[in-house]
Amino acid sequence: MLSTKAEIRKAMLGGALSLAGIAIFVGLAIFALLLSSGVSSILATVVEPYILRVLRFTLLQAVLSTLLSVVLAIPLARALARQQHFPGRVWIIRLMAVPMGLPVLIGALGLIGIWGRQGILNSLLLNLGIGQPISVYGLFGILLAHTFFNMPLACRLMLAALERVPAEYWLMANGLGMRSRSVFRFIEWPVLRSAIPGVAGLIFMLCATSFTLVLTLGGGPAATTIEVAIYQALRFDFDPGRAVALSLLQIVLTAVILACLALLPAAGDEGVTAGKAIRRPDGRPIGARLSDGGVLVFATLFLGLPLLSIVAAGLRSDLMKLVREPIFWQSTATSLGISIAAAVLALLMSMTLVRARHALLQSSRAPSIRVFTAAMGGASSLVLLVPPIVLATGWFLALRDFGDAGVIALILIIAINALMALPFVMRILEPAFGIHKRRTQKLAASLGISGWARLRLVDLPALLRPLLTAFSFAMALSLGDLGAVALFGSDRFVTLPWLVYSRMGSYRTNDADGLALILGLVCLLLTIAGTMGSARREATYHG
């Protein structure tokens, strides 16, 4: 695809410009944080009892959420791996993909509908005469919500690992008459043991940087994470010094987590297989079927009831009244504009970085070129090191002297949402680009097809599906995001997630339920559109 020197130079220039833009945008935010407070005052603030308490709670809830998600995912993944032919299996697997495409705020509303004070479970407990209903707020609610969103992710990744076990293993297990305990000990556990560190590390990272769930379900100062404390320091206390100290502490924490993830061993290869059909010996006994059925029913209810609650509560609201309100159309237009612009920007940055990486690898194998290539690949991970709320804090502090930021705030939110989607977009586009390059590069060069003609006739038809998939994912992520807009949101600058959150805060729960249903359906339709026609993604995380 990159056959001429001129095309290689253009690709390298585009990648360098994207890398520089990302580095400058993130660097200026960090510089604004450092400039807003001196090193001595930052150190003094970090050791405050309140900051240390927030750090302890952040780590505690992340550890407990990770343990719950992984421990509950193991029997669920085993049940789906053992029972491969029962009716509805594919729909259970698809159900586990729904929380991944659902905006976090909408999922929190669904959990409140089941576990909240007026929810189904508490109403049942009150009818049974139990006088102390379950409280969904505080540590319990945070753990419940993190498990709701992350257990399906862990299960799908573990299920993918178990389904890669060669059929010859099961043939030998059948021949030896191995029971369920032996199968788990000698076949399943070695596979899961190699996959669990990476899965647990990813979930821990997601929980340690959680913002919207903790903001919605935290329940006060005793249940506050670092990112929520940053938001509170700026929006409620207007204490820039504390916000800066918390932001830098968050960067250090995420850097340590990413470093630990890099040290984790990769999942092992289960070996060469002849591709025979899998016939497991441990899923046929009646006891195994009953236990697996119980696990699957529990998981279906745990994931499905909050989703049904969202639909039921949304349908009970006055949807026609909501869609007639000017604020609804204003927030919808703002959200769609931001999400489309962020998705386009994420695609442009990803394609320039991917093309530049392949161009550099094609032009030279020098160590300096490899370092530059690695930097372009790592650029998409900067948003993991500097989370969106920290980026927003840095730019909020940089722009606070300019009064009403208006248009600048809109541009910043688009840029932050694009960076948030960048890792997922590159994960989709880079493999597709590499495969297409290997298939068409020599033929296009031999035919003399280059430039616009090759883009129109060769590249675009082949890459259209992954481009649309990446676009839909990026748009759904941006459309449901509350983190970046949390600091810049106002009465004149409202997105759909911010409107839902503000209606919840003003106790207009019926309106919040109706808006949540609309927003959730749009995001789920975008996610479904992105996964159509790709059965291989049934057991992987999109983003």
Residue 174 is part of a domain; what is its CATH number?
1.10.3720.10
Rg (alpha carbons) of the chain, rounded to whole number: 25
H or E stretch covering 539: none
Q: What is the pLDDT of residue 543?
A: 35
Is 52 within a domain? Answer: yes
Is 240 within a domain? Answer: yes
Nearest to 159 by CA among 92, 226, 101: 92
Q: What is the pLDDT of residue 363?
A: 64
Is 292 within a domain? Answer: yes
Quote the CA–CA distance of 401 and 8 in Å, as a whole number: 43
Q: What is the pLDDT of residue 302?
A: 93
Assign 3-state DSSP to the chain and report helix, strand, coil percentages, each to 5. Answer: 80, 0, 20
Q: Are 538 and 93 in contact (CB under 8 A)?
A: yes
Nearest to 210 by CA among 46, 383, 389: 389
* Structure letter (DSSP) for residue 187: I
Q: What is the pLDDT of residue 394?
A: 86
* Chain position carrying tokens 């990744």: 157
Number of separate domains in the chain? 1
Is 162 within a domain? Answer: yes
Containing structural domain, residue 55: 38-310
Q: What is the pLDDT of residue 304?
A: 92
Q: DSSP letters of 135-168?
A: P-SSHHHHHHHHHHHHHHHHHHHHHHHHHTS-HH
Is 462 within a domain? Answer: no
Q: What is the pLDDT of residue 105?
A: 87
- CB-based burial, 490-523: b 16+ in 10 Å, e otherwise: eeebbbbbbbbbbbbeeeebbbbbbbbbbbbebb
Q: DSSP letters of 291-351?
A: HHHHHHHHHHHHHHHHHHHHHHHHHHS-HHHHHHSHHHHHHHHHHHHHHHHHHHHHHHHHH
Helix axis angle for 104-115 and 120-127, nearest 10°, is 10
Nearest to 211 by CA among 387, 385, 362: 387
Q: What is the pLDDT of residue 124?
A: 84
Q: Which amino acid makes up residue 99?
A: P
What would the two tokens of residue 298 be?
Answer: 């529990």
**Residue by residue, what is the 3-state secondary structure of 36-78?**
CCCHHHHHHHHCCHHHHHHHHHHHHHHHHHHHHHHHHHHHHHH
Is 3 within a domain? Answer: no
H or E stretch covering 133: none
Please state the φ and ψ torsions of residue 532, each to the nearest 5 degrees. -65, 135
- Whole-angstrom distance between the N-terminal and C-terminal Cα of the chain? 28
Q: What is the pLDDT of residue 30?
A: 86
Quote the CA–CA distance of 39 and 61 in Å, as a whole number: 29
Q: What is the pLDDT of residue 528?
A: 74
Q: What is the pLDDT of residue 36?
A: 73
The low-confidence residues of the chain, meaning pLDDT below 70, are: 1-4, 7, 37-42, 131-132, 219, 265-283, 361-370, 372, 377, 380, 401-406, 441-442, 444-445, 447-448, 450-455, 489-491, 530-543
Q: Are 331 and 498 in contact (CB under 8 A)?
A: yes
Is 418 within a domain? Answer: no
Is 141 within a domain? Answer: yes
Using alpha carbons, list the distances in angstroms from residue 459 to 36, 207, 344, 432, 452.
47, 39, 18, 11, 10
C-alpha dihedral (441, 444, 447, 451), degrees to nearest 10 = -130
**Chain centre to alpha carbon of residue 257:** 16
Nearest to 178 by CA among 290, 77, 74, 284: 284
Max distance between CA atoms of the chain, in angstroms, equals 80
Q: What is the pLDDT of residue 541?
A: 37
Q: Are 154 and 541 in contact (CB under 8 A)?
A: no
